[in-house]
């Protein structure tokens, strides 16, 4: 039940961008990777996920980098984590048809689904704004 570095790093990057939001300037991955001590190349891959989700305003080339496309309070942490980690269901079969041939397993479905709901409610109750200032 661990969150991988993808989700954790994504949150860190998004917080950095949120802190930079009011300046209106682009923040490069080089700056972020040096400040946060995270591999530049690995960050690039994570940014692709965030970019595909339309979270970012990107500028390539000299003095380029990333900016948030919306205000920090518009980004729910849950959205950031789901984009980088996949859904936050504690079991694969949640939200699927669930062919598992485990008799008693299906009796535990409501329990796991309840946990899923708690997790989603928590991560969706916070936004990037909660991490700045």
Partner DNA sequence: TGCAATTCCTACTAAAATGGTAGTATAATA
Partner DNA sequence: TATTATACTACCATTTTAGTAGGAATTGCA
Q: Does 112 help bind a second copy (rule: CB under 8 A)?
A: yes
Question: Which residues ranging from 37 to 56 are in contact with DNA (CB under 7 A)?
Answer: 38-39, 41-42, 44-45, 47-48, 51
Q: Does 76 help bind a second copy (rule: CB under 8 A)?
A: no
The minimum distance between CB 51 and a second copy, in angstroms, equals 20
Q: How many helices (H) and strands (E) does the chain have?
A: 5, 2
Contact of 93 with 104, CB cutoff 8 Å: no
Q: Pattern 39-58, binding to a second copy, x per CB under 8 A?
A: --------------------
Alpha helices in 5-108 (DSSP H): 5-19, 29-36, 40-52, 77-85
Q: Does 6 help bind a second copy (rule: CB under 8 A)?
A: no
Tell me the torsion sign for CA atoms 16, 18, 21, 22.
negative
* Residues 116/122/128/130 CA torsion (nearest 10 deg): -170
Q: Which of 23, 63, 101, 104 binds DNA (CB under 7 A)?
A: 63
The minimum distance between CB 43 and DNA, in angstroms, equals 8
Integer Cα distance of 115 and 108 in angstroms: 11
Q: Does 73 help bind a second copy (rule: CB under 8 A)?
A: no
Interaction partner, residue 34 (DNA, a second copy, none; CB < 5-8 Å by kind): none
Interaction partner, residue 48 (DNA, a second copy, none; CB < 5-8 Å by kind): DNA
């Amino acid at each position: 039940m661990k969150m991988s570095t993808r989700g954790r790093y994504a949150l860190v990057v998004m917080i950095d961008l949120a802190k930079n939001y009011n300046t209106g300037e682009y923040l490069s991955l080089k700056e972020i990777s040096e400040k946060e001590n995270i591999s530049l190349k690995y960050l690039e891959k994570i940014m692709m996920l965030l970019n595909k989700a339309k979270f970012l305003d990107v500028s390539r080339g000299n003095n380029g980098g990333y900016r948030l496309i919306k205000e920090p309070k518009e980004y729910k942490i849950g959205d950031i984590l789901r984009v980088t980690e996949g859904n936050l269901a504690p079991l694969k079969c949640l939200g699927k048809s669930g062919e598992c041939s485990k008799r008693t397993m299906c009796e535990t479905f409501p329990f796991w689904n309840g946990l899923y709901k708690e997790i989603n409610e928590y991560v969706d109750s916070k936004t990037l704004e909660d991490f700045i200032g």
